Structure 1
Amino acid sequence: MHQQWKINGVYATWTVSIDVTAPDTTEDPDPTPETLTRTPNFEGLVHHFRSIVDMNEALQELNRA
C-alpha cells in the first residue's frame, strides 16, 4: 500500500510518502498489507506533516525579514 501527500508551499513543494509492506521475514505474515481488514488511518500523521510544513514556511518568512 502506498499513500502520498503533497503541499505546495511558498518556499517549497513538500511531499511525504508512506509505504506499507510485508515484514522482511521468511514466515508468511498474517495479515499481509494486501489483506488488511481496514485501511490504516494516517489522518494524525498528515496533520503533523501540515504543522511541520507550516512552521518551516513561517521560519523562512521570519528569516527573510
Structure 2
Amino acid sequence: MRKLSEEVTELLIDVLKGDVKGATKEAADVLYHYLVVLAATNISFSEVLHELEKREGMSGYEEKRNRKQTT
C-alpha cells in the first residue's frame, strides 16, 4: 500500500505543477497499484463499481452521512 500512496503523491505533484504528461503517467501508475491493492485484499473491481453505482446521484456529504448511520 505504501507504493500506492507514493504514486498518489507523485500524481498530485504533477497535477499541481500543471504537468499533464507526467500526471497522465502517474495516473496510470496509481490505477495499476490500486488494482494490486484490490487483488491483495480480495476485493473485486466489480464490487467497487457496484459501490459507486449505489452512490450515483448522491452528494459526497449525503454519502458520508449515510455511511455513519449504517455503521
Same structural fold, with TM-score higher than 0.5 when normalized by the shorter chain: no
Q: Which has the higher strand share?
A: 1
Q: Whose helix fraction is larger, Structure 1's or Structure 2's?
A: 2
Q: Where on the TM-score scale, by shorter chain, does this alignment land: which range? A: 0.3 to 0.5
Higher relative contact order, structure no. (Cα contacts within 8 Å, ≥ 6 residues apart):
1
